[in-house]
Amino acid sequence: MFDLMPFDRKTRNLTNYFDNFEKAFFSDFPSMFSEMRTDILDKGDHFLLQADLPGFTKEDIHISLNGDTLTVSAEHNDEKEEKDNSFIRRERRYGSFARSYDVSGIDTQDISAAYNNGVLELRLPKANPQTSQQRQIDIQ
């Protein structure tokens, strides 16, 4: 019998009001704080890190290495773009993104990067495993 009720009557309960409030309140939350989405592939002798950075130029992207931490950051500068614009609605966000990765076990001297069609690719060669040298220790 309840299946024959109109849809609006079915949705009039207290839990649906709270669900709808949460959806309305946090609807722009993921887009406001979007993250740099990455894939990391194991290619045998190296890892391939692919990061989506659409809308950036090569000059906007910075890659730094501090010890065993690799940081990729990108920043849009919108000072010159807003002077004569009167927006009715603005969904294209400007700002900065940054993400850090642990690169222990990576040959940091041979890391290379390329940026094509909004995708940053980092080639991270694996470091040669340290061979443990076995030796006999004499007891005195």
pLDDT in tens, 7-17: 555 555 666 66
> How far apart (Å, rounded) are the C-alpha atoms in residues 89 and 44?
47
Q: In the predicted model, what is the mean pLDDT of the chain?
A: 77
Nearest to 122 by CA among 131, 134, 110: 110
Place of tokens 């890892």: 47
pLDDT in tens, 131-140: 566 777 788 7
**Dihedral sign for Cα atoms in the order 28, 31, 32, 34:** positive
Report DSSP state, residue 20. Answer: H
Structural domains of the chain in order of their starting residue, each with its CATH number:
37-81+92-127 (2.60.40.790)
- Better-scored residue on pLDDT, 31 or 77: 77
This prediction has a pTM of: 0.63
pLDDT of 30 > 70? The answer is: no
In the sheet with 96-102, reading across from the earlier edge strand, the strands are 61-66, 69-75, 96-102
Neighbour-count burial of 5, counting CB atoms closer than 10 A to its CB (0-12 exposed, 13-18 middle, 19+ buried): exposed
pLDDT in tens, 37-71: 899 999 999 999 999 998 888 999 999 999 999 99
Q: Which of 50-64, 80-94, 102-116, 121-135 is predicted with the least confidence, judged by mean pLDDT? A: 80-94
